[in-house]
Every structure is written in structure tokens, then in C-alpha cells.
Amino acid sequence: MMGNNLSDKKRSYGVYAGIPVTCEIFNSDDKSVRKKTALARNISSDSIYFEIDEILPLGTEVNVIFQLPRSSNIITATTKVSIVEALENENNFGIGAPFVKISDTNKEEIKQLVERLDIYKLLELTIKRKASDLHILANQKPVLRIQGEVEVLDYAKLYAEDIPNLIYSVMTKQQIKKFEQDKELDFAIQYDMQNRFRVNLHQQRGFLEAALRLINTKLPSFEELSLPEVIKDLSRQKEGLVLIVGPTGSGKTTTIAAMLDLINHERRGVIITLERPIEYVYSNINCIIKQREVGIDTNSFSAALKGTLRQDPNVIVIGELDDFETIRTAMIAAEAGHFVIASFHAPNTVQAIDRLTSMFPLEHRKNILFQLSRCLKGAICQLLIPTRNMGDRVLATEVIIMTDALKNVIRNDELFQIPTIIQTGGALKMQSMQQSIRRYLDQGIIDTQTAIEYSEEFNRY
């Protein structure tokens, strides 16, 4: 269904439609007509795809009779079977049939439904408005997040029953089945060569809703992201653990992409990424890069990570440290001579280390801190901050580099001393979030109110 440009998508786009269809099947031999009930799965202005419990020969004429959601009109059209495929349910078959006879009124009604539930239209608006996120909500208009602020789109309200038709249209049968089983799903949509969307599908008060994060698939450079040079040094580590932390939407995945691109150009080896879902797609330049998606290629981060250790990796990327088993294995891998880059949700580096250890039983905290002090090479915390004119956002970073003093602080569970070590670690290219924000303020890129909002330290001034 998906082409390389929007016009290709629009020509082939049809909406998912789980609606009953009455089929009048013509027998060309004796001219008889018999009726069967089918279930429509996809409808476009040119064709229909339905599931039925028998094989229909190619070229068979079928009258289809159905009613679109929220419509009182009964649509009747004549189709000719052009696709027949076996389905997982051995008793059912998928039938694709273009319309060969349909009234202009009925065709227009289908066209209006398809246009209203065309997810590519919403994706296009998200890209044009330079939004970071698109929220699809039940019984509401779609919402964009632009420069950190939410904005309701001037768009038709999407009713609760519309959303499965809208979202399922770009999902595989396996993805639909998994979501209906788990009530939660992460996957990705490739819009075009430059833009990809990370999708989280979920239920809220029994209604299906979705949050879509826009990802520019062009691999970013350190300069484009305004990343400190010290992160290049961290990227060149041969072993150990580097943490990339920050709140949701702070660009952690993008920073990892820049680090991997540098590694891919500067050294030879095997890079294995564990992601949910895959956002950036890498080409093998000097490295072999294997990208594994949790939920498709593997069942969990922890299971995938254990398998990865047997796949001859030099670099391992963990998209999310989501349980103590994954954290434990990541540290073992880092101590065993692999270079591990891992993402974790935390507002700053101190809380990141504290929260990581807090995921273990309390009696293991001392041992985990000791292990972390041995394998951690550095940590980067990041925030995206709106600029003075609110037209863009800039990346503010806090960076810690492992030193003997920092090892002792972590080992002795004296994490409250980390800010002091950062302040005195300028010669080692450490920097605090406050220092990063101060530079933007001094350069006039952000205003004082923004500085205060993103760093409590500025309340003192």
C-alpha cells in the first residue's frame, strides 16, 4: 500500500473497514445468483477487499451491498474478483475486487469517507506544521504538539468508531491481532524517504487512541544537533556503558543515531540495536549493523539482549532499559568488553543512577552501585528547550564522565555529590544542565523565563 511519495499513497489508499457485506455471486454457467455474507476489510473509492468462506474464481462478478459507518445510505456496486488469497483461518479467503459498476453518489460517499479517514493527510499536516507529535483521540479533533505546546487541528472530529478504521489501515494483520490481544502496541510508519513516525497505539477508557512521534530519517550530525564534542569522545569508547537519559521527547534516540553514525564511519565491527520500534534505519558503511525490533524480531529487551551476547557484537544499543534483568545484562555486557549505549527515562543523571539501582531489590543496591561504578563510562542527560521566538527548540545537555572521584561517589551511594563533581569537572569536558542553559541565555537564544522554567538554579538570580 505504501509508495515513495504522497501521490502514490493517495492512489492506493483505502480505509480499514470491519463491516458486513452481502455478496450476490453470479454463476456464469447457469446465470444463477446466490447470496453470501462477507466481511469488508478495506474499502477505497476504486475497490473493496473482503473475507469470505469460499474461493471465488478470478473474474467472477459479485454484487456487493454494504453500509458505511455513520451513514443511512445502502451502497450497491458490481465488482469483478481480481485477487484471491488464503488467510490464517483456513476456512476464509481474502478477495480483492475493483468496482466495475457503481453510482456516482455511492462512489462520492466512499471517497469522502476515505479522505476523512486518510491518515496520510494527518501525517502530512504534522510534517508541514513542524510538529513533534500527533495525537489521535476518540470523539475529538486531532491534536499536534508544536514546540512543546499542544494545538487542536482544524480538522473533522474523529469518532471512536473511526479510529480503528484510520489506524488499522496502515497496520499488518499480525499487528492488529497483537494489539487486540495486548491492548498496547508500538510500531512505525514510513511516510516518505525523509520522514518516519513512531506510533504508540493504546486504549483509554475503552477507546482506541494513538500517539505518533515524527522522526526525520536523515541521520543527524553532531553539529546539527548542537551536541558537545565530548559526546564524540564517549562514542569512541571500546567497552563500558554510556547512558543517554532525559524525559520523553527529549531526543534521546536522535542522539544515539548521531553516535552510531560516527561509530559506523570511524571503526569496523558489529553493531546490534534493540529498539521498540525501529526509528532510524542504518546502512552498513564500515560496520555490520543489525537492527532488531522488540515485538517483531524478539519478545523483549531482556530476551534479545541475552541473545545478542552470542552474536559477536562490538557495540550494543538498548532502546530502553525497562526492567532489572535488562539492566543487569547490560552491565554484564559492558564489563565483558562490549560497548553498550542505553536509553533511560530520567530527568537528570543523579536520578537516572538512583532509579536504575532502585529497580533492583533493596538488598542488592550496594552490589549494583559497585558494578555500575566499574562499567559506567559516562552519562548524557538532555532537554529540548524552546527558543526566544518559539519557532524552534535547542538541545541542552548535562554530561558526566567517569573519574575515580565519581566511581567512589557511586560506589559509596553518595549520589548527592554528583552535581559538585560535575561543577569541578570542566577540564574533563563535564557540564551541568545549568551551564548548558546559561550559554543559550547569554547568547540570547532563550529568554530568562525559559531558563527559570527548565532549571531551578536560575530562580536564585
**Interval 270-298: pLDDT, tens:** 999 999 888 888 999 999 999 998 878 88
Mean pLDDT, range 51-72, rounded to an integer:
93
Q: What is the residue whose three cell numbers read 524552546?
A: 386
Count of beta carbons in the 10 Å neighbourhood of residue 86: 10
Predicted pLDDT of residue 248 = 85
- Contacts (Cβ under 8 Å, ≥6 apart) of 179: 171, 185, 201
Quick check: pTM over 0.85?
A: no
**Interval 190-217: pLDDT, tens:** 898 889 899 999 999 999 999 999 987 7
Residue 267 burial (C-beta neighbours within 10 Å; 0-12, 13-18, 19+): middle
Mean pLDDT, range 47-69, rounded to an integer:
94
Mean pLDDT, range 126-144, rounded to an integer:
95
The residues spanned by each domain of the chain are 6-105, 117-216, 222-460
Residue 242 burial (C-beta neighbours within 10 Å; 0-12, 13-18, 19+): buried
Q: What is the residue whose three cell numbers read 472530529?
A: 157
pLDDT, mean over the chain: 91
Predicted pLDDT of residue 458 = 64
**Interval 81-109: pLDDT, tens:** 999 999 887 789 999 999 999 999 999 99
Please report which confidence band the pLDDT of residue 17 belongs to, taking 50, 70 and 90 as the band edges: confident
Predicted pLDDT of residue 11 = 42
Predicted pLDDT of residue 1 = 36
**Interval 236-246: pLDDT, tens:** 999 999 999 99
Q: Which residue has the higher pLDDT, 29 or 265?
A: 265
Mean pLDDT, range 129-149, rounded to an integer:
93
**Interval 171-191: pLDDT, tens:** 988 899 889 999 999 888 989
**Interval 372-430: pLDDT, tens:** 999 999 999 999 999 987 668 899 999 999 999 999 999 999 999 999 999 999 899 99
Q: Which CATH class for the 222-460 domain? A: alpha beta
Reduced DSSP (H G I as helix, E B as strand, rest coil) percent helix, strand, coil of the chain, to 5: 35, 35, 35
Query: Which CATH architecture describes the domain 6-105?
Result: Beta Barrel (2.40)
Does residue 277 have a cis bond before it (omega within 30 degrees)?
Answer: yes
Mean pLDDT, range 326-331, rounded to an integer:
94
Left if phi > 0, otherwise alpha if psi is -120 to 50, otherwise beta: which for 292?
beta
Predicted pLDDT of residue 52 = 95
Return the CATH number of the domain spanning residue range 117-216: 3.30.450.90
Predicted pLDDT of residue 295 = 79
Residue 248 burial (C-beta neighbours within 10 Å; 0-12, 13-18, 19+): exposed
